[in-house]
Amino acid sequence: MSPRTATSGAWGLAASTGQDFTHHSIVDAHFEACVETYRKALDLVGLRPGWRVLDAGCGPGDFLPWICDLVGPAGAVSAIDLAPENADLAARRVSESVPGVAADVRTGDIRELPYPDDAFDAVWCSNTVQYLDDDSLLRALAEFRRVTRPGGLVAVKDLDARLITVQPGDPDLFADFFRAAAANPGYARQLRRSGALYRYLRAAGLESVRQRTLLAEHFAPLTEAAQEFYSRACAQLAAQIPHGSRTDAWRVLADPDHPDHPLRSADGYVREGVVLCVGTVPAAQ
């Protein structure tokens, strides 16, 4: 069993940028399924009232209300996303859910941020660097450092695909899938890189780098949000395997409504790893 060599847009659920799994429908579903773990990750960063915070790669803006709440009325929140439709949706969501707070939401590339030096006290970047190769990741981190004041924080959160498992069934099915897919440069390889984020933050010149991996675990009976998201995501991954090469396990996962789907079992379980890496911008020399 070997997945196809996937290029941009081949995994499905892409926004207008062509990046896979960035359409607001799947991003929102993922956020809702992992909401408790995501909130814990954000709280571990250490954002403070009155801070100026940039959400870099904000997607449809799921984290923005939380960030606005953490910095309070004395703070300021900005956000940027490559997909214009996601940036527009993020701006609407802030205006609707956080009355009186006007977040500055723009369309743009996190590798070329349209902000002056030292503009923020912290940068938050969630589930975005998985779309960057190593060189682009270092460019983005250099930009995060540039726009963050000395002593400020750069926080990157992303999925670690090596920790995904769905049971009952082969606990290594997804690990083997991503290992095979990562033989070629691209999305799968970058999804397996998250455990090494601390090295990239150090290479970008950040100090006091700390990293923590959280597990988003779901046991049967899954919540409606978790059932909807993970069943859909499993089907998208199964679609990467040619029909003639699919094992019985992948044929079941390809159909979210299959009666033998492991996530419909009384013993159903799904897990993913959420890596949070935070570094401090060095004091001015």
Provide DSSP, 237-281: HHTTS-GGG--HHHHHHT-TT-TT-GGGSTT-EEEEEEEEEEEEP
CB count in 10 Å sphere of residue 133: 15
Mean pLDDT (whole number) for 64-75 = 94
pLDDT digits (tens, 9 = 90+) for 213-269: 999 999 999 999 999 999 999 999 999 888 888 999 999 999 999 999 999 999 999
Amino acid type, 23? H
Chain-centre distance for alpha carbon 258: 28
Residue 93 to residue 68: CA distance in whole angstroms:
12
CB count in 10 Å sphere of residue 100: 7
Alpha helices in 82-164 (DSSP H): 84-97, 134-147
Q: Which domains does the chain have, with CATH numbers?
A: 24-160+183-215+272-280 (3.40.50.150)
pLDDT digits (tens, 9 = 90+) for 165-206: 999 999 999 999 999 999 998 989 999 999 999 999 999 999
| Per-residue confidence band for 26, with pLDDT thresholds at 50, 70 and 90 | confident
Say what the pTM is.
0.92
